[in-house]
Chain A
Amino acid sequence: MPAHLSIKEIADSQAQLRRKKLVLFAFTLPLLLFVMLAFVAPIATMLYRSVYHPTVAQLIPQTLKQMQGWETQSNTLPDNDSLVTFALELKSLAAERRSGKLAEEINRVFPGASSLIKSTARKLKRLDEQEIISSQGTILLDSHKKWHNPALWRAIASAGEVWTSRYYLTALDLQLSPEGDIESRDTRIYLKLYWKSLRIALLITLLTAVLAFPLSYFLANASSAKANTLLVFVLLPFWTSLLVRTTSWIALLQTNGVVNSTLKVLGIIDQPLELLYTEFATVISMTHILLPFMVLPLYSVMKNIDPSYFRAALSLGAKPLPAFAKIYFPMTLPGLSAGALLVFIISIGYYITPALVGGTDGQMISNIIAFHMQSSNNWELAAALGSLLLVLILALYWLYDRMVGVNNIKLG
C-alpha cells in the first residue's frame, strides 16, 4: 500500500472490495442454488443410496432386533425366539402381500432364497399366530431343510444391515466370505465391463485423434473461405441430434443396409456381414458422433500455430518428417489433449448409442447401470456402479481442469 493512504482510506477500499465481491457472488447465487438442488443433490442422493439400504430393516425389524444376540460366526442357528419372530413377521408380510419384496432382497445376498421364502410365506399365511408361537420355530424348520442352514440366517442378518458396503463389493466383483473376509467372486462381471468400457473409450479416442489430425491440419492450412465452407461438414453433424446419427448407423449397418448392399454390388462379399448389434457398431458410430469434439479443439489450436517455425526448420536443413515430429506436433498437443480428454470423458459414460446398436457385445458400463435401474430393480447396485463411474469421471475432469482449464472450454 502506498504510504500516503490513511488507515481509514485503506479500510474503506477494503470494505468496498468486499461489497463488490458480495454483489458478484449475489449474481452467481441463484444459479448456484439451482444447480445444487436440481443436480448436485440428486447425485448426492445416489451416493447415499449406494450405502444406505433400510428396506429389509423396515420389513422385518423385530427379527433383526432378536437376532442381535446371535453369534453370526458360530455355526448354529439363531435362537427359537428369533425363529418365531421371523415366522410371525413373514406371516404378516404375506398377508400384506409384501413377502415377495423380502424374498427378492434376501435372494440378492443368498441366491435361491427367493422361492424358499415365497413358499414358506404361503404356508405360514394359512396358520394362525398361536400355532406358530407354540411350535417354537419348528414349523419354519420343518417347512424346508434350507432353514437349517446357518448361512441363510447370516444372509438375512447381513441383508438387514442399514448401512452396507455390500453393493460396492458386488460392483467390484467381491463378496464377503462366511468368515467375514473379503474375497473375489468366481464370475467377474462388473470389473470386466469397466475394463471393456475403458478399452472402448480409449479406442474411440485414438480413432477420433487419427481421423481428426489430417482433417484439422488441412482445414487450418486452407484458405479461410474454403475452411469455413468445409467446417460446415464438421458442424452439421455436431448439431444434429444424437438419435438421428444413431438411426443413420442402424440404416447403414443392418443386414440389408447400405454398407452390406454396396459391398455385395461391388462383389466383395457374397453373404451380408453381421455388423449391427456388435462392438464394432458401437465403436464406429460413437467415433462418428464424437469426431467433431476432437476436430474443433485441434483445428482452433492448429490455426494459431505460426507456420514459419516449421518452414524455418525445413530451411535450416531438417528433413520434413523429423521436423514435423519435433517442431509442429508438440505445438498441437494442447488441442490434442483437450480433444482426447473430452472424447474420453464423454465416451466412457455413453449410454444411448451402445444400447441401440451394441447388441450384447457392445454394451458399456452405463448400460448395466440402466439395466439395474429399469429391469432388475437393484437400485442400490446401480447406485454403487454409478458412484464408481462418477469417481473415474471426476478424476478425469480434475485432470482436464489441470491441463486445459474448465474456463477455456469453447463451443462452436
Chain B
Amino acid sequence: MAFPSYYSPLQKLGSLMLSASAYLVLAFLILPILVVIPLSFNAEPFFSFTPGMLALEPDAYSLKWYQQIIEDDKWLLAIKNSFIIGFFATLIATTLGTLAAIGLSNPNMPAQRWIMAVLLSPMIVPLIITAAGMFFFYTQFNLAGSYLGVIIAHAALGTPFVIITVNAALAGFDYSLVHASLGLGAKPGYTFFKVIMPLIRPGVISGALFAFVTSFDEVVVVLFLAGPEQRTIPRQMFSGLREQINPTILAVATLLVIVSALLLLTLEYLRARSVRIRLGTQ
C-alpha cells in the first residue's frame, strides 16, 4: 500500500490497521452468506463440509437438493405463493404509496409530520406485534387463512418503503412543471402520467422493489395469518429449519442469494438513472 511521504511510522501502522479491520468486517458480512452456496451442492444430507468436498472430489458434490425442490409440491406451491402474494402486495403498496408521497412531499401538505409518522409506523412496529394484532383483527372478517388477508397485510408492511423512495425522488421536484402543464390545458391525469411519472419513475420502481422484497422475505405475519394453502418460501424455510434440517433449504437459500444479487444490480442501475434524470432536469 502506498502512503503519503509525510506519514510517520505510527500513522502508517494506524492506516494499515484501519484497512485490515475494514476488510475483516467486510469478510464478516459476506462470508456467512457465501458459505451456503458450496454447501448446497453437498452429496450428503448435512449442513457441513464433508472430507470429500474439501478434497474437491466430484462425487462429493451433487445437484440432488435442487432436484428435490422441483419435485416437491410443497416447495413449488411456496414459490408460486411467494410470487402471487408479492406481486399483488407490491401493486397495492406502490399505487397507494406513490399517490400519498406526492401529497406528502408538498410543503403545503397539512399535518405532514403526523401523517408521515403514522404511515411509516408499519416499518417500526415489531412484526410480532403487527402479526398478533392482525391475527385478532383479520379473523373477525374471515381474512385469516386467505390470500387476500396476507396480501393486504404485506401491502401495509411495504408502503413505508414506497413513501420513502418516492419522497426521495420528489426532493427538489420542480412544481412549476405541473403548473405549466395544467396551465397549458393538460388534464390532471395526463399531467400525472406524462410529467410527474417520468421524473419519479426510478423512485417508484425502487420503492416497488423494496415492497416486493418486504413481502417476499416476510415470515412472521405469514406464520400467524396464513393457512397451509398460503405457505410462502420463507415460511417453508422456517418450518424446515425448526423441524428437520435438510440441505434442500441450502439450495433454496442459494437461489435466493442469486435473486438478491440480481435485485441489487437492478437497484444500482436505477440509482444511476435517477441521478442522470435529476442532473438532466436541473
| Interface residues, chain A, with chain B CB atoms under 8 Å away | 17, 20-21, 24-28, 30-32, 34-36, 38-46, 49, 211-212, 214-215, 217-219, 230, 232-237, 239-252, 254, 256-258, 261, 288, 291-292, 320, 345, 348-352, 355-356, 366, 369-370, 373, 379, 382-383, 386, 389-390, 393, 397, 401, 406-407, 409-412
Q: Is B68 an interface residue (CB 8 A)?
A: no
Give the docked Cα–Cα distance between A230 and B220 (Å). Answer: 32
Q: For chain B residues 35-55, which have a beta carbon within 8 Å of chain A?
A: 35-36, 39, 46-49
CA distance A235 to B203 in the complex (A): 18
Given pairs A27-B100, A30-B96, A401-B117, 9 additional interface contacts (CB within 8 A): A31-B99, A38-B134, A39-B156, A243-B253, A247-B36, A249-B32, A383-B136, A386-B132, A411-B168
A351 with B220: CB separation less than 8 A: yes
User: Interface code B4-32, partner A: CB below 8 Å = 1, 0 otherwise?
Assistant: 00000001001000110110011011101
The reply to whether the CB of B206 lies closer than 8 angstroms to some CB of chain A is yes
Q: Does A38 contact B127, Cβ atoms closer than 8 Å?
A: no
Docked complex Cα distance between A51 and B55 (Å): 62
> How far is it, in angstroms, between the C-alpha of A390 and the C-alpha of B46 when the chains are bound?
40
Chain B, 239-262, CB within 8 A of any chain A CB: 241-242, 245, 249-250, 253, 256-257, 260-261
A233, B126: Cα distance in complex, Å:
27
Distance between A255 CB and nearest chain B CB, rounded to angstroms:
9
B152 contacts the other chain (Cβ, under 8 Å)? yes
Instruction: Please measure, in the bound complex, the distance between the C-alpha atom of A315 and the C-alpha atom of B263, giving whole angstroms.
Output: 46
Report whether A39 and B127 are in contact in the complex, using a CB–CB cutoff of 8 Å.
no
Contact of A349 among B96, B129, B159 (CB under 8 A): B129
A316 to B155, CA, bound (A): 56
Interface residues contributed by chain B, number (CB under 8 Å): 94
Contact A27 to B103, CB < 8 A, known contacts A38-B152, A46-B133: yes
In the complex, the answer to whether B136 meets A42 with C-beta atoms within 8 Å is yes
Q: State in angstroms the CA–CA spacing of A230 and B29 once bound together.
A: 11
> Which among A230, A236, A370 has the greatest number of chain B C-beta atoms within 10 A?
A236
Known: A32-B100, A393-B124. A21 touches B109 (CB 8 A): yes
The answer to whether A43 and B130 touch (CB under 8 A), given A240-B257, A261-B49, is yes
In this complex, which of A251, A349, A350, A406 has the most chain B Cβ atoms within 10 angstroms of its Cβ?
A251
Q: Which of A235, A239, A411 has the most CB of B within 10 A?
A: A239
B19 contact from A24, A30, A218, Cβ within 8 A: A218
Cα–Cα distance between A248 and B254 once the two chains are bound (Å): 10
Partner of A40, one of B118, B168, B257: B118
Closest chain-A Cβ to B235's Cβ sits at a distance in Å of: 9
Structural contact, A233 and B167, CB atoms closer than 8 A:
no
Taking A247-B249, A351-B126 as contacts, is the C-beta distance between A373 and B48 under 8 angstroms?
no
Q: Complex formed: what's the CA distance from A101 to B125 in Å?
A: 32
Asked if residues A28 and B115 are in contact (CB atoms below 8 Å), the reply is: yes
CA–CA, A31 and B156, complex, Å: 9
Task: Say yes or no: A250-B100 contact (C-beta < 8 A), given A389-B129, A406-B117.
Answer: no
Which residue of B22, B32, B46 contacts A288 across the interface (Cβ within 8 Å)?
B32
Which one, B97, B220, B237, contacts A247 given CB within 8 A? B237
Separation of A88 and B156 alpha carbons in the complex (Å): 48
Interface residues, chain B, with chain A CB atoms under 8 Å away? 11, 14, 18-19, 21-22, 25-26, 28-30, 32-33, 35-36, 39, 46-49, 92, 96-97, 99-100, 102-104, 106, 108-110, 113, 115-122, 124-130, 132-138, 152-153, 155-157, 159, 161, 163-165, 167-168, 206, 210, 213, 216-217, 219-220, 223-224, 233-234, 237-238, 241-242, 245, 249-250, 253, 256-257, 260-261, 263-264, 267, 271
Q: Are A28 and B100 in contact (CB under 8 A)?
A: yes
For B49, B116, B128, B161, the residue with the greatest tally of chain A CB atoms inside 10 Å of its CB is B128
Which of A211, A232, A244, A254 has most chain B Cβ within 10 Å? Answer: A244
How far apart are the CA atoms of A354 and B11 in the complex, in Å? Answer: 42
Q: Hey, which chain B residues are within 8 Å of A244, CB to CB?
A: 33, 36, 237, 253, 256-257, 260
A24:B35 contact, CB within 8 angstroms: no
A369 to B129, CA, bound (A): 8
Give Cα A409 to B118, complex, Å.
14
Question: Once the chains are docked, how many angstroms separate the CA of A407 from the CA of B122?
Answer: 15
Pick from B22, B117, B163 the residue with the most CB of A within 10 Å. Answer: B22
Q: How far is the CB of A118 from chain B (nearest CB, A)?
A: 27
Residues of B within 8 Å of A17, CB to CB, are: 108
A401 closest partner in B (C-beta): B117
Query: CA of A379 to CA of B136 in the docked complex: distance in angstroms?
Result: 9
Say yes or no: A240-B219 contact (C-beta < 8 A), given A217-B18, A366-B126: no
Which residue of B has the minimal Cβ distance to A347? B126
Contact of B109 among A24, A257, A373 (CB under 8 A): A24
The 8 Å CB contact of B164, one of A348, A373, A410, is A410
Give the complex CA separation of A20 and B110 in angstroms: 10
- When the two chains form the complex, which single residue of A30, A251, A411 contacts B250, counting CB atoms closer than 8 Å? A251
Bound Cα distance A40, B157 (Å): 11
Using Cβ atoms and an 8 Å threshold, which residues of chain A touch B102? 27
B135 engages A373 (CB within 8 Å): yes
Measured between beta carbons, the chain B residues less than 8 angstroms from A348 are 126
Q: With A and B bound together, what is the CA distance between A194 and B134 in angstroms?
A: 23
Known: A46-B133, A349-B128. A28 touches B153 (CB 8 A): no
Please name the residue on chain B nearest to A43 by beta carbon.
B133
